[in-house]
């Protein structure tokens, strides 16, 4: 603490028990305990804080806004928590090159707003975009509704100044289109703080589309909605966003926003189309036709920007609106092939019924990225066991259908122990070695992503008495 | 610390936060500090820690609670509609009861003078205002306090309304606003009369609405003041309030007093613009120029009357909007006096947003709450109440 206070200033490092209690968790469910928390105000201070952790051989966990959904910012191993919210300057915007250099604590939506007058925006738009930081987005390789057409965070990060676990700083990637050598930038994006902490980040800015239309389709069965998703893609349309919400979640968000979401629908689809005006109008008609062919009850086209904004506000508030039903949620993030959507959804609801749990679904249907939410009240005795068992069953169903564990939230702490479902011991060992190459000390956000025992040496214990 | 030092907030309200973090950017103190402890989510986590016995109710907890402006921007942003304002008022109430004895004597004296002695006694407040006026003339009152230039003419003249017993609508006059910004009341009465309605004034006893007391956790005192306000405004006529903070508190009298009479009274309370938007529009000149609209938090987040302000002002002025989602200005009732450092940082953000919205020249700002107006005026802005602006534009 003395070193931190000396390096950062007396107000920028704290260890009062109540202060630490506020950094026990992110927006996921797992809690941990920090040894201290610090708030660097410059990238130099950030590097200094990491260096001090190294000097004292102490683990460290970087944290932005704490909106992560997989426990990635949960402090494990009595670490120093390094909060990046004070690093919130947009350093430079080059409108011609469409590049911005930002500090890691800049909020995602603040960046888009700051460049709006230049006709540009930052494309990845996680539901938490008003609150989450770019640094956190880089760590989780965040997605968002509009990543269906635009691609996830990795496609929009050109270079990252990384503070490595020993406190040294390295620049990964660059502004040139195709840098020679290994793509270490690509390796760092999505590493969830296990390879170091983002300093300044160069992000790609995207021109605002000339025309945007948002459609709301409602269905009396989930199957019809899912079939429409496949139908839209099969018709050769790649919407800017293609989102689905089931009955319960639709009612919950409607209670909050009052956007006119149909309360009696079994499922709704939110489809956004953008591009040149004539092309967009043709796509609107095509989506309307596909919807009606698959039994859509109504197809509503948002009349203006205000109505569009309200519909999106509803969709992006979905997780936060859960407490209208129960105070806790456990969220999965699995991705399944689009063609298996109907089948997997059916299984997911069956699993919920089997474990007597309330299940909702709100997800990026266009890319098959499910967000099944189990809602519960942790004050109910024995509910945790059921929640975890159902969660495992859901993951297994998704993996059996050819899916993966996480589309955008990351693995963090919550999904870590499910990694062997999709990776062989050799795969895990290779990943552990890659991680070790960045952080040989293992102090950068320990115990995240890779389950213990991922390294070969840990896995294959030599039986006693064996000859080696 | 005694064993009684525990929080007793509504447990269901307290666990309704899923910690999603969508409130963070809408919290003025989080925006300027980036600290979890200065955010709605962090404050709720602290309340949970104290209530469930994981942390003591100590000075650290007290500081976290007192750094909150109580703007309730988080409440409007919360998808689960966690009643943050209610939780915060509850926490303040417990702090008021259990921590009072540990506060410095100067603070206790100031609180006693303000909440107990002066605010409930309007005549005393007016007498002190005369002293303040003299001090202002002697240049003893620093400008940075944002106190408007008090005028002998304004203070010496009573408010006048047409004679008669049963008005079409009351204008609630309140405490500080009647003492320091009485001209705004005059403007409100002129505009109300211009709609063809007959405005009336409260009988004696409506000295103070008690909003500041509720925010400070002094609910018992607030209840006493609220009963007097209700008694001073009999009948069924709407109660028009030109202070957003007061109107928000008076609309909550039903919860505060928990009586049918209070609930009925609360339905009669209207913000000035909210009432005006439903009346026949008075004739105004439509060439008033550009005005930046600043939404007082308790107008926008609590009363949801921000649309009405735009509707009535838009008849006479070209309106400009700030790009900060209606983030608080940092005034917060007595907040700018209690937390000057944070209040100033928050105001700096707001002033920047207002300047961006105004473009060239010195912006004129419309604000429907006396506290915000004074706080922003202290930063050198030209701040006017919508009633003042509309009275100026009357044909």
The separation between the first and the last C-alpha atoms of chain B, rounded to the nearest angstrom, is 64
Look at A167 and B147; give whichever has higher pLDDT: A167
Tokens standing for A12?
């920028």
Q: What is the mean pLDDT of residues B34-58?
A: 94
Domain identity same for A130 and A226: no
What is the distance between the alpha carbons of residues A123 and A138, in angstroms, rounded to a whole number? 13
Does position B4 have pLDDT exceeding 60, yes or no? no
Q: Please, which residues have CB within 8 angstroms of residue A178's CB and are 6 or more apart in sequence? A: none
Domain identity same for B230 and B296: no
Q: For residue A457, what pLDDT is reported?
A: 56
Query: Mind listing the pLDDT tens digit for each residue in A335-375?
Result: 999 888 888 999 999 999 999 999 999 989 888 898 999 99
Its domain, for residue B321, covers 290-393
CB of B20 less than 8 A from some CB of A = yes
Domain identity same for A409 and A370: yes
CATH number where A186 lies: 3.30.465.10
Q: For residue A460, what pLDDT is reported?
A: 44
What is the distance between the alpha carbons of residues A165 and A388, in angstroms, rounded to a whole number? 33
> Which residues from chain A sit within 8 angstroms of residue B41, using beta carbons?
66
Domain identity same for B212 and B244: yes
Domain identity same for B202 and B67: no
Does position A213 have pLDDT exceeding 90, yes or no? yes
Domain identity same for B154 and B202: yes
Q: What is the mean pLDDT of residues B159-181?
A: 89
Domain identity same for B272 and B139: yes
Binned at pLDDT 50, 70 and 90, residue A456 comes out as: low
- Which among B17, B25, B36 has the least Cβ separation from residue A323? B17
CA dihedral B141, B147, B150, B154 (to 10 degrees): -160
Does position B118 have pLDDT exceeding 90, yes or no? no
Binned at pLDDT 50, 70 and 90, residue B360 comes out as: confident
Does position A464 have pLDDT exceeding 70, yes or no? no
Does position B2 have pLDDT exceeding 50, yes or no? no
Whether residue B187 is contained in a domain is answered as: yes
> Which residues from chain A sit within 8 angstroms of residue B323, using beta carbons?
113
Cβ distance A318 to B64 less than 8 Å, yes or no, reads no
Q: Are A256 and B81 in contact (CB under 8 A)?
A: yes
Q: For residue B224, what pLDDT is reported?
A: 95
Q: For residue B155, what pLDDT is reported?
A: 87
Whether residue A452 is contained in a domain is answered as: no
Tokens standing for A212?
């945007």
Phi then psi dihedrals of residue A158, to 5 deg: -95, -40
Interface predicted TM-score (ipTM) of this complex, two decimals: 0.91
Domain identity same for A201 and A215: no
Query: Mind listing the pLDDT tens digit for each residue in A425-444?
Result: 999 999 999 999 999 999 99
Whether residue A145 is contained in a domain is answered as: yes
Give me the DSSP letters along B254-268: HHHH-SHHHHHHHHH
Whether residue B171 is contained in a domain is answered as: yes
Whether residue A122 is contained in a domain is answered as: yes
What is the distance between the alpha carbons of residues A80 and A72, in angstroms, rounded to a whole number? 14
Domain identity same for A248 and A156: no
Domain identity same for A96 and A194: yes
> Which residues from chain A sit within 8 angstroms of residue B53, using beta carbons?
none
CB of B62 less than 8 A from some CB of A = no
Does position A65 have pLDDT exceeding 70, yes or no? yes
Domain identity same for B245 and B164: yes
Q: For residue B162, what pLDDT is reported?
A: 83
Tokens standing for B181?
């910004």
Whether residue B108 is contained in a domain is answered as: no
Q: What is the mean pLDDT of residues A243-260?
A: 92
Domain count, chain B: 3
Domain identity same for A170 and A225: no
Domain identity same for B259 and B135: yes
Tokens standing for B265?
């009274």
Domain identity same for A169 and A249: no
> Which residues from chain A sit within 8 angstroms of residue B79, using beta carbons?
253, 256, 317-321, 324
Q: For residue A342, what pLDDT is reported?
A: 86
Whether residue A247 is contained in a domain is answered as: yes
CATH number where A223 lies: 3.30.70.2190
Binned at pLDDT 50, 70 and 90, residue B242 comes out as: very high
Domain identity same for B198 and B270: yes
Domain identity same for A203 and A217: no
Domain identity same for B132 and B258: yes
Binned at pLDDT 50, 70 and 90, residue B44 comes out as: very high
- Which among B24, B60, B78 has the least Cβ separation from residue A18? B60
CA distances in angstroms from B353 to A92, B349, B376, listed in the order given: 20, 6, 12
Q: Are strands A298-301 and A211-219 parallel, antiparallel or unpaired?
A: antiparallel
A62 has which bridge partners? Answer: A82
Whether residue B168 is contained in a domain is answered as: yes
Q: For residue B3, what pLDDT is reported?
A: 44
CB of B79 less than 8 A from some CB of A = yes
Whether residue A146 is contained in a domain is answered as: yes
CB of B59 less than 8 A from some CB of A = no
Domain identity same for A99 and A198: yes
Q: Are A360 and A244 in contact (CB under 8 A)?
A: no
Q: What is the mean pLDDT of residues A274-282?
A: 93
Task: Tell me which chain A residue has its CA closest to the CA of residue B33.
Answer: A86
Binned at pLDDT 50, 70 and 90, residue B368 comes out as: very high
Domain identity same for B177 and B34: no
Query: Mind listing the pLDDT tens digit for each residue in A3-55?
Result: 999 999 999 999 999 999 999 999 988 899 999 999 999 999 999 999 999 99
Binned at pLDDT 50, 70 and 90, residue B291 comes out as: very high
Whether residue B284 is contained in a domain is answered as: no
- Which among A16, A22, A329 has the least Cβ separation from residue B45? A22
Q: What is the mean pLDDT of residues B284-290?
A: 88
CATH number where B88 lies: 1.10.1060.10
Domain identity same for A108 and A122: yes
Please report the number of interchain residue pairs, chain A to chain B, with beta-carbon separation below 8 angstroms: 104
Q: Helix (H, G, I), strand (E, B), or coil: what is residue B81?
A: coil
Q: What is the mean pLDDT of residues B16-38?
A: 95
Q: Helix (H, G, I), strand (E, B), or coil: what is residue B290?
A: strand
Q: For residue B99, what pLDDT is reported?
A: 78
Q: Which of A60, A83, A106 is the last residue of a domain?
A: A83
CATH number where A355 lies: 3.30.70.2740
CATH number where A51 lies: 3.30.43.10
Domain identity same for A48 and A142: no
Percentages helix, strand, coil for chain A (3-state, rounded to 5) are: 40, 20, 40
Its domain, for residue A78, covers 2-83
> Which residues from chain B sit within 8 angstroms of residue A318, using beta carbons?
79
Cβ distance A16 to B61 less than 8 Å, yes or no, reads no
Whether residue A437 is contained in a domain is answered as: no
Sheet with B199-200, edge to edge strand ranges: B199-200, B169-172, B239-241, B269-271
Question: Min CA distance, B73 vs chain A (Å)?
Answer: 14
Q: Which of A287, A316, A345 is the last residue of a domain?
A: A316
Domain count, chain A: 4
Choose from B11, B12, B13, B34 for mutation: most chain A CBs within 10 A: B34
Domain identity same for B146 and B262: yes
Whether residue B3 is contained in a domain is answered as: no
Q: What is the mean pLDDT of residues B343-365?
A: 91
Neighbouring C-beta atoms of residue B360, cutoff 10 Å: 7
Whether residue B328 is contained in a domain is answered as: yes
Q: For residue B1, what pLDDT is reported?
A: 42
Does position A244 have pLDDT exceeding 50, yes or no? yes
Whether residue A40 is contained in a domain is answered as: yes
- Which among B18, B45, B55 has the least Cβ separation from residue A323? B18
Q: For residue B5, what pLDDT is reported?
A: 53
Range picked from A378-382, A415-419, B120-124, B270-274 for highest mean pLDDT: B270-274
Domain identity same for B301 and B218: no
Domain identity same for A233 and A264: yes
Q: For residue A155, what pLDDT is reported?
A: 94
Does position A320 have pLDDT exceeding 70, yes or no? yes
Task: Tell me which chain B residue has its CA closest to the CA of residue A15.
Answer: B60
Q: Which of A207, A242, A272 is the last residue of a domain?
A: A207
Give me the DSSP letters along A165-220: TTS-EEEEE-SSSS-SS--HHHHHTT-TTSS-EEEEEEEE-EEPPSEEEEEEEEES
Whether residue B341 is contained in a domain is answered as: yes
Cβ distance A39 to B34 less than 8 Å, yes or no, reads yes
Range picked from A104-108, A174-178, B353-357 for highest mean pLDDT: A104-108
């Amino acid at each position: 603490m003395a070193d931190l206070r000396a390096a950062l200033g007396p107000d920028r490092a704290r260890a009062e028990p109540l202060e630490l209690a506020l950094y026990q968790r992110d927006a996921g469910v797992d809690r941990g305990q920090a040894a201290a928390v610090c708030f660097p105000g410059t990238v130099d201070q950030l590097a200094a804080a990491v260096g001090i952790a190294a000097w004292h051989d102490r683990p460290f966990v970087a944290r932005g806004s704490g909106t992560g959904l997989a426990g990635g910012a949960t402090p494990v191993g009595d670490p120093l928590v390094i909060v990046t919210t004070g690093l919130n300057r947009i350093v430079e915007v080059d409108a011609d090159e469409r590049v911005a250099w930002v500090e890691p604590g800049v909020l995602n939506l603040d960046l888009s707003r700051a460049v709006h007058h230049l006709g540009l925006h930052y494309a990845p738009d996680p539901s938490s975009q008003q609150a989450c930081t770019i640094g956190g987005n880089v760590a989780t390789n965040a997605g968002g509704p509009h990543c269906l057409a635009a691609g996830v965070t990795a496609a929009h990060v050109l270079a990252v100044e990384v503070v490595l676990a020993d406190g040294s700083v390295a620049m990964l990637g660059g502004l040139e289109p195709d840098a020679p050598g290994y793509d270490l930038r690509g390796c760092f994006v999505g590493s969830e703080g296990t390879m170091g902490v983002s300093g300044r980040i160069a992000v790609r800015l995207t021109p605002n589309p000339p025309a945007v239309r948002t459609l709301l389709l409602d269905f009396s069965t989930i199957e019809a909605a899912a079939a429409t998703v496949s139908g839209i893609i099969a018709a050769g349309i790649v919407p800017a966003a293609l989102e689905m919400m089931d009955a319960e979640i639709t009612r919950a968000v409607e209670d909050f926003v009052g956007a006119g979401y149909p309360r009696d629908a079994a499922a709704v689809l939110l489809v956004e189309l953008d591009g040149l005006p004539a092309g967009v109008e043709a796509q609107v008609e095509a989506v309307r036709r596909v919807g009606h062919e698959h039994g859509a009850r109504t197809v509503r086209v948002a009349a203006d920007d205000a109505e569009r904004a309200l519909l999106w506000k509803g969709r992006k508030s979905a997780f936060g609106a859960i407490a209208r039903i129960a105070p806790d949620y456990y969220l999965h993030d699995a991705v399944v092939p689009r063609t298996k959507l109907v089948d997997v959804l059916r299984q997911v609801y069956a699993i919920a019924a089997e474990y007597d749990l309330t299940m909702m679904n709100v997800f990026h249907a266009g890319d098959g990225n499910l967000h099944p939410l189990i809602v519960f009240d942790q004050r109910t005795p024995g509910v945790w066991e059921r929640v975890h068992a159902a969660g495992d069953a859901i993951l297994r169903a998704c993996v059996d259908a050819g899916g993966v564990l996480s589309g955008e939230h990351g693995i963090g702490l919550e999904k870590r122990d499910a990694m062997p479902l999709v990776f062989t011991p050799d795969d895990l060992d290779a990943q552990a070695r890659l991680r070790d190459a960045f952080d040989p000390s293992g102090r950068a956000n320990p115990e995240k992503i890779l389950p213990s025992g991922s390294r070969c040496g840990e896995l294959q214990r030599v039986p006693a008495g064996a000859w080696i | 610390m005694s064993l009684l030092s525990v929080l007793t907030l509504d447990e269901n309200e307290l666990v309704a936060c899923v910690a999603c973090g969508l409130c963070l950017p809408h919290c003025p103190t989080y925006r300027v500090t980036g600290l979890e402890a200065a955010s709605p989510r962090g404050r709720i986590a602290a309340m949970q820690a104290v209530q469930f016995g994981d942390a003591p109710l100590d000075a650290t907890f007290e500081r976290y609670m007192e750094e909150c402006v109580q703007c309730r921007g988080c409440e409007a942003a919360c998808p689960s509609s966690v009643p943050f304002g209610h939780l915060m008022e509850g926490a303040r109430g417990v702090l008021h009861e259990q921590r009072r004895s540990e506060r410095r004597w100067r603070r206790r004296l100031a609180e006693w003078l303000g909440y107990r002695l002066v605010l409930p006694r309007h005549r005393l407040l007016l007498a002190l205002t005369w002293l303040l006026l003299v001090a202002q003339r002697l240049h003893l009152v620093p400008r940075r306090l944002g106190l408007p230039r008090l005028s002998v003419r304004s203070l010496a003249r009573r408010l006048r309304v047409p004679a008669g017993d049963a008005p079409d609508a009351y204008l609630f006059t309140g405490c500080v606003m009647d003492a320091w910004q009485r001209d705004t009341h005059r403007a409100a009465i002129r505009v109300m009369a211009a709609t063809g309605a007959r405005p009336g004034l409260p009988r004696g006893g409506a000295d103070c609405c008690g909003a500041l007391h509720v925010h400070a956790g002094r609910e018992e005192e607030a209840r006493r003041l609220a009963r007097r306000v209700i008694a001073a405004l009999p009948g069924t006529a709407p109660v028009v309030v030109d202070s957003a903070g007061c109107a928000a508190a008076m609309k909550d009298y039903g919860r505060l007093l928990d009586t049918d009479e209070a609930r009925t009274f609360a339905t009669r309370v209207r913000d000035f613009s909210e009432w005006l938007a439903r009346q026949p529009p008075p004739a105004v000149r439509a060439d008033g120029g550009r005005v930046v609209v600043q939404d007082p938090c308790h107008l926008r987040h609590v009363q949801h009357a921000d649309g009405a302000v735009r509707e009535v002002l838009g008849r006479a002025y070209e309106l400009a909007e700030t790009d900060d989602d209606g983030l608080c200005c940092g005034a917060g009732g007595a907040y700018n006096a209690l937390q000057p450092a944070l209040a100033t940082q928050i105001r700096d953000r707001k002033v920047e947003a207002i300047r961006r919205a105004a473009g060239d020249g010195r912006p004129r700002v419309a604000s429907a709450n006396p506290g915000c107006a004074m706080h922003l005026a202290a930063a050198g802005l030209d701040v006017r109440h919508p009633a003042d602006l509309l009275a100026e534009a009357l044909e």
